[in-house]
């Protein structure tokens, strides 16, 4: 038995090559796994479950097919698709995970996160995250017409890209103290997360406990996933 983990796919209709990799992945490696965990940013953006874009519908249908084949499917919100709601979850056959989630993965306690809450040095982003994760904000935003929501998202994305150019790489990466705090709070588990687009395996010693941290890769240039079983984890490239 094994489970696989992915994040930061940023799927959208304008990236047909990587979309094909994703659909092939669902029909191949994902279909042979016990469970697939998507740890945030499956989509480039998500304007709301009422967006009936044909590409979005094709992703939902492919996920549903995977779930119907008996693969357990888990989804965690990312910073791009935190508006994924009950309608999407029901249609796709996925189970929504809280961020963070602690699970027993084949005998190893494993903490699952998207990863953005670990970037505590990016104060500007953390303030924005708090704002948009507010139920009051989300209710008001989703009450707006879909076209207006998409325009606002495009505006926010442009502002985000401009802001990144003024920030150092260190600010946009995880803060060591935040990683250590998360590991300490949850009993020194293994940690798997995405968000930073810096795939690697890290080792941390926290209060004398040795912990490993896996950072998942983004899918901008190529697809990849983390395969975990009772013997441990291994990163695998798809294309």
For residue 40, the SS3 value is coil
Q: 134: which DSSP letter? A: -
Tens digit of pLDDT for each residue in 52-87? 999 999 999 999 999 999 999 999 999 999 999 999
Nearest in space to 50 (alpha carbons), one of 12, 88, 94, 89: 88
- Domain of 33 in residue numbering reads as 3-237
Q: 188: which DSSP letter? A: S
The side-by-side arrangement of strands in the sheet containing 200-206 is: 101-105, 108-112, 190-193, 209-215, 200-206
| 154/214 Cα distance (integer angstroms) | 31
Alpha carbon of residue 86 to chain centroid: 17
pLDDT of residue 171: 79
pLDDT of residue 164: 80
How, if at all, do strands 72-76 and 35-39 pair?
A: parallel
| 150/165 Cα distance (integer angstroms) | 23
pLDDT < 50 stretches in the chain: none
pLDDT of residue 24: 98
pLDDT of residue 13: 94
pLDDT of residue 159: 87
pLDDT of residue 167: 78
Supply the pTM of this predicted model: 0.96
CATH of the domain at 226: 3.60.21.10
| Domain total in the chain | 1
pLDDT of residue 188: 98
| 40/193 Cα distance (integer angstroms) | 9
pLDDT of residue 163: 81
Q: Which residue has the tokens 């090559």?
A: 17
pLDDT of residue 169: 78
| 236/153 Cα distance (integer angstroms) | 32
């Amino acid at each position: 038995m094994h489970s696989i983990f992915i994040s930061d796919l940023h799927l959208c209709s304008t990236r047909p090559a990587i979309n094909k990799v994703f659909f092939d992945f669902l029909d191949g490696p994902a279909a042979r796994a016990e469970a697939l965990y998507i740890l945030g940013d499956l989509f480039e953006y998500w304007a709301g479950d009422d967006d009936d874009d044909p590409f979005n519908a094709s992703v939902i249908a492919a996920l549903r097919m995977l779930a119907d084949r008996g693969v357990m499917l888990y989804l965690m919100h990312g910073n791009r698709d935190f508006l994924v709601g009950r309608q999407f979850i029901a249609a796709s056959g996925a189970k929504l995970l809280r961020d963070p989630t602690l699970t027993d993965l084949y005998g190893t306690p494993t903490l699952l996160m998207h990863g953005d809450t670990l970037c505590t040095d990016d104060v500007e982003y953390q303030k924005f995250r708090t704002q948009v994760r507010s139920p009051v904000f989300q209710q008001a935003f989703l009450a707006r017409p879909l076209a207006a929501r998409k325009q606002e998202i495009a505006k926010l994305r442009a502002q985000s890209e401009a802001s990144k150019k003024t920030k150092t790489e260190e600010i946009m990466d995880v803060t060591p103290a935040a990683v250590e705090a998360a590991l300490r709070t949850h009993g020194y588990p293994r940690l798997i997360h995405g968000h930073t687009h810096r795939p690697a395996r890290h080792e941390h010693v926290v209060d004398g406990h040795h912990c490993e941290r896996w950072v998942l890769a983004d899918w901008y240039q190529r697809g990849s996933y983390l395969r975990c079983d009772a013997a441990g984890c291994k990163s695998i490239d798809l294309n």
